């Protein structure tokens, strides 16, 4: 996998990957409304120009994944909105590749010393991937509310 800058022409690819509300909630929390639309993504990209947004592609330039590096204070950044696109490609190590590539971009572009991320407490598959990579859970007292249901949010961090 290699990363290329995510551009407006890639938006339909991302929209196609978000097949249901659960996928969108795991991918983006409450940042977007289902169904994801091009207008929502365009607004988001314009609102956060400091974010490093990438599309992961294979050797034939076929899209595989989406991910963001969100600059933070104190020489750190946060991974956000990570998604292995097609569901049949999940669970095959692409998440670990995506994380590695995003961290390398962050180190190069932002000179960071720590990477953080947040995830829904119910997203056990993602949590296992991050733990295998070397992230550790840290105390976090945060939750989101979606459709009158509260979802605890976990925070993970890794020094670089």
What proportion of the chain, given as a percentage, has pLDDT over 70? Answer: 100
The answer to whether the beta carbons of residues 33 and 27 sit under 8 Å apart is: no
Q: What is the mean pLDDT of residues 14-32?
A: 96
pLDDT in the model for residue 10: 98
Residue found by looking up tokens 């095959």 in the block: 92
pLDDT in the model for residue 122: 92
Q: Is the pLDDT of residue 64 over 90?
A: yes
DSSP states along 73-126: SSSEEEEEEEEESSGGGTTSSHHHHHHHHHHHHHHHHH--SEEEEEEETT-HHH
The answer to whether the beta carbons of residues 98 and 106 sit under 8 Å apart is: no
CATH number (3.30.1360.120, 3.40.630.30, 3.40.1160.10, 3.90.870.30) of 2-112 reads 3.40.630.30
Q: Is the pLDDT of residue 1 over 90?
A: yes
pLDDT in the model for residue 45: 97
pLDDT in the model for residue 87: 86
- How far apart CA 38 and CA 40 sit, in angstroms, is 5
pLDDT in the model for residue 77: 98
Instruction: Quick: pLDDT tens for 108-141.
Output: 999 999 999 999 999 999 999 999 999 999 999 9
Using DSSP's 3-state secondary structure scheme, residue 16 falls into helix
- Helix then strand then coil, in percent of the chain rounded to 5, is 35, 35, 30
Q: Is the pLDDT of residue 91 over 90?
A: no
Q: What residue segments make up the domains of the chain, in order of their start? A: 2-112
């Amino acid at each position: 996998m290699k990363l290329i800058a995510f551009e407006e022409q890639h938006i339909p690819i991302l929209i196609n990957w978000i097949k249901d509300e659960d996928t969108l909630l795991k991918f983006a929390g409450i940042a977007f409304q289902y169904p994801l639309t091009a207008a929502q993504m365009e607004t988001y990209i314009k609102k956060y120009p400091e974010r490093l947004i990438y599309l992961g592609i294979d050797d034939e330039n076929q899209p595989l994944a989406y991910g963001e590096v969100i600059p933070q204070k104190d020489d750190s950044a946060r991974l956000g909105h990570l998604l292995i696109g097609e569901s049949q490609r999940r669970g095959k190590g692409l998440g670990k590749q995506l994380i590695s590539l995003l961290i390398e971009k962050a180190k190069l572009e932002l000179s960071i010393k720590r990477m953080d991320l947040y995830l829904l407490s119910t997203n056990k598959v993602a949590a296992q991937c991050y733990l295998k990579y070397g992230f550790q859970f840290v105390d976090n007292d945060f939750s989101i509310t979606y459709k009158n249901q509260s979802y605890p949010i976990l925070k993970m961090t890794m020094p670089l």
